[in-house]
C-alpha cells in the first residue's frame, strides 16, 4: 500500500480512500451493525447514537473507507493529533485511530488490517512517533490483529469509561 492520504490501493483491488458525504449512511450502517454484533446489549444507546453521527466525525478527523470493487466494506477514523476533538487520551507526538469497523458479512478477509495499516501509513507520513487506540474487551479479534501488527498493550492508559465499560489501550511505536 502507498502512503497517499487520498487513496491507497492494494493488489487485490481493495482501495482505502477518504470518505465522502455520499458514504456516510453506509458507514453508519456498517459501524452500527459491526459494533452491535460484537458488543450486543452492552452497547450504551448514547454510544450507538454517537457512532451514527458520521458527518460529525468526518469534520473532526480523517474518515477512511475500504472499497472492494464498488462495495464499501469497512471504515476507520484516523485522528491526526491530540488537538482533534476525536482524540482519546492522545499524547503530543501520537496519532490515533478509532471506530474501526468492517461489514459483518465481509469480516475475516483482511479489510480491518488494511484499514489499520492505512492509519499506520498516515501516522508515519505525519511524522508521529506512535499510533494509539482504545478497544473494548469483547473485541478480541481486533486485539489479536493489533498485536500481530506490533501494537503493544498499554494498560496504564486503559480508560474506565463507565462502571461497565473498560477501554483497553494499545500503542504501536513508529520510530
pLDDT tens profile 101-113: 999 888 888 899 9
Is residue 94 situated within a structural domain? yes
Residue 168: which CATH number? 3.40.630.30
pLDDT tens profile 39-88: 777 777 788 888 889 999 999 999 999 999 889 999 999 999 999 999 98
Read off the C-alpha cell for 131.
Answer: 499510533
Give the number of domains in the chain: 1
> CA–CA separation, 49 vs 37, rounded Å?
16
> 58-82 burial, b for 16+ CB within 10 Å, e for fewer?
beebbbbbbbbeeebbbbbbbbbbb
> CA–CA separation, 125 vs 109, rounded Å?
26
Question: What domain range is 62 assigned to?
Answer: 7-173
3-state class of 152 per DSSP?
Answer: strand
Is residue 1 situated within a structural domain? no
Spatial CB neighbours of 90, under 8 Å, sequence gap ≥ 6: 79, 81, 82, 84, 96, 132
The reported pLDDT for the residue numbered 2 is 39
Alpha-helix runs per DSSP H in the chain: 24-39, 45-52, 54-60, 111-125, 140-148
The reported pLDDT for the residue numbered 147 is 96
Is residue 98 situated within a structural domain? yes
pLDDT tens profile 81-128: 999 999 988 999 999 999 999 998 888 888 999 999 999 999 999 999
Instruction: Indicate whether this model's pTM tops 0.85.
Output: yes
Amino acid at each position: 500500500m502507498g502512503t497517499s492520504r487520498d487513496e491507497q490501493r492494494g493488489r487485490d483491488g481493495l482501495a482505502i480512500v477518504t470518505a465522502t458525504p455520499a458514504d456516510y449512511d453506509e458507514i453508519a450502517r456498517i459501524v452500527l451493525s459491526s459494533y452491535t454484533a460484537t458488543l450486543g446489549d452492552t452497547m450504551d444507546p448514547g454510544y450507538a447514537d454517537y457512532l451514527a453521527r458520521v458527518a460529525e466525525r468526518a469534520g473532526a478527523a480523517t474518515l477512511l473507507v475500504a472499497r472492494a470493487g464498488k462495495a464499501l466494506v469497512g471504515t476507520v477514523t484516523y485522528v491526526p493529533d491530540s488537538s482533534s476533538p476525536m482524540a482519546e487520551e492522545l499524547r503530543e507526538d501520537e496519532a490515533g485511530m478509532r471506530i474501526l469497523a468492517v461489514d459483518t458479512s465481509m469480516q475475516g478477509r483482511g479489510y480491518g488490517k488494511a484499514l489499520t495499516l492505512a492509519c499506520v501509513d498516515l501516522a508515519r507520513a505525519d511524522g508521529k512517533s506512535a499510533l494509539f487506540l482504545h478497544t473494548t474487551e469483547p473485541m478480541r479479534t481486533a486485539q489479536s490483529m493489533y498485536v500481530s501488527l506490533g501494537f503493544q498493550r498499554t494498560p496504564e492508559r486503559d480508560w474506565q469509561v463507565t462502571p461497565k465499560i473498560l477501554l483497553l489501550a494499545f500503542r504501536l511505536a513508529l520510530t
